[in-house]
A and B are shown apart, each in its own frame.
Chain A
Amino acid sequence: MSAAGTIDYDRRGLLGTLGRDGLLQIILIANTILMLAPIVIMVFSAFKTTPQIFQSPFGIPDFGQVANFAKIWTQTNFLRYLLNSFFVTGASMVLILTLGTMAAYAIGRYQFSGASFILMFFLAGLTLPLKLAIIPLFMLMRDLSILNNQLSLIFVYTAMGLPTTVFIMTGFIRTLPSELEDAARMDGASEARIMWSIMLPLVRPAMVIAGIQNVVPIWNDFFFPLVFIQNDDLKTLPQGLTTFMGEYTTDWGVLFSGLTLSAAPIVVLYIVLSRQFIAGMTSGAVK
């Protein structure tokens, strides 16, 4: 009696599990299709002529047909925008990681009065929406004579990236053991030498996380160039895209290939390093 009851109970449990997992699996598959379809349509359309896009938006294109890309390459400022984005993002990342590591190392490795206050000062910058300070920032850049100059972007991105970087790196640097450091100090190594040759090689994993968390919003940013940069030759990719989309409004093949080309660098990087991207971009929200 009780054995039969158990079997019945198990079977119901098994069926219930199968039914539930089936439902969850269907939700996941439907969602993945919904997530990927726009990207697939974008890439497919990039290889079609405008009439082809209008006639068969879902058809598989001839991937040898690269006329749209050739047009972008030869007739627009696209390459310039791409190089500008690489330069601005690269310079900001070098500054963020250098300055962020310096501050985090000082706060995490030494005991001095005011250390926790300084950490709080950096953390305050974490939550402030800097967009709302755009008017004073505009005036500041004007006073520094770097309006319409990529330095204005690099400085703002660096300042914006520092709070998260200091937060992530300080936490990590505090966990490093002090034996190596003490031994080197006994041997008479200078503080700078200890930091550079002994501690820094150990903090690379945290640098990767902090780097990814900052590189994506900087690469993708549109708001600050919109306010600071007017000269077409200085525009970054998201901002240049608006110029480009405005010029080619009726040539949908070129529009889609422009979007595809803009998305390509970060999508390829994401596919290769998806684990690090997910960890890095959610690291502010996941302890």
Chain B
Amino acid sequence: MPHLRMTGRGLWITALIVPPLAFVAVFIVYPILSAFAYAFFDWQGLRRGEFVGFDNFFTVLFVEPYRSWTINAFSHNIMVFFALMVLQNGLGFILAYALWRELPGARFHRVAVFLPVVLSTIIVAYLFKLFLHPLFGVVNVSLKGIGLGWLAQPWLGQSDTALWSLIAAQSWHMVGFPTLVFLAGMQRIPGEILDAVRMETQSEWVKISRIVWPLVAPSATIVFTLLFVGAFNWFELPYIMAGLDGSPFGSTDVLGLYFYRTAFGNVSSGQQDFGLGSALAVLIFVFIALIAGIITVRLRAREIQL
């Protein structure tokens, strides 16, 4: 009897656990492992050819024109990451600090700052594309309206402003996320610590740099890591605002677009190469995993247990 009951229970647990496990195994683990395998083969369209070792990796890293494309896209991702670190996470910290004071209207401000976060990237991208239109967009119309017409320019149409325009749109979209993660971290700081600090110093700067910032370290770890992964996976916003080629002249090309173009082809050249695409995917993947791991470990060491 006890033995039978154990088996019944074992079956019950198996029935509960197998279907969800199967989904994750088939649609996450298997594709990711396959991506590694794909990169070592030659591909003709959808047909897998022969094993070619590290050839695909060599091509995307060292053979022109792929080499320049890879470097170009990669350098843009690095730029995007550091720019968003300041505009999204830095501003997010300041906004969180302001919200934390519970000044009049704080509730409303909190709802407002998070509102863009729930919107689809596609909506945000089209909205800013319309706003940045050289002739009729509200940005240039406003600049002309307040006598700064000389600042009006084709934001998305020229190489030196296009990527920055995308970064600005991205910051508007997502600044609410780090803001509220930091705010949650600040709200967990015990009141006694803050009271003790108030006795010691009146300096706001000392309070922020010596107390608040170290104590929200766990929030910072997560926000930095997520931003890093997001910045190197960036695809939708540049796809809509700048197109698959990262126009103008590749000035907004990032790894996400480049990978997609290489794997699936684009309008101007229907050429698609799953081998080179997979090699790029594996390189991006390994890079993200490595750096995200280092960021997490280094920042974790900074965290203080209360």
Contacts and interface: CB of A to CB of B under 8 A. Distances in A.
B263 to A, nearest CB: 5
A285 B222 contact: yes
A72 B95 CA distance: 38
Interface in A1-30: 12-13, 16, 20-21, 24-25, 27-29
B112 A129 contact: no
A286 B178 CA distance: 11
Given A222-B236, A252-B130, A135 B113 contact: no
Contacts, number: 248
Interface in B163-182: 172, 176-177, 180-181
Interface string B227-259: 001000101100010000000000000001001
A278 B180 contact: yes
Interface in A34-75: 34-36, 38-39, 41-42, 53-54, 57-58
Interface residues on A, range: 35 or more
Contacts of B260: 134
A28 B103 contact: yes
A104 B27 CA distance: 19
A58 B128 CA distance: 15
Interface of B: 8-10, 12-13, 16-17, 19-21, 23-24, 26-32, 34-35, 38, 46, 94-95, 97-99, 101, 103-106, 108-123, 126-128, 130-131, 136, 138, 141-142, 172, 176-177, 180-181, 184-185, 202, 204, 218-219, 222-223, 226, 229, 233, 235-236, 240, 256, 259-260, 263-264, 274, 277-278, 281-282, 284-285, 288, 292
26 contacts: A24-B97, A24-B98, A32-B109, A32-B113, A38-B128, A38-B172, A57-B138, A99-B20, A103-B21, A110-B9, A121-B29, A132-B281, A133-B28, A134-B260, A135-B38, A219-B120, A222-B121, A238-B123, A252-B130, A255-B130, A263-B120, A267-B115, A278-B110, A282-B180, A285-B223, A286-B219
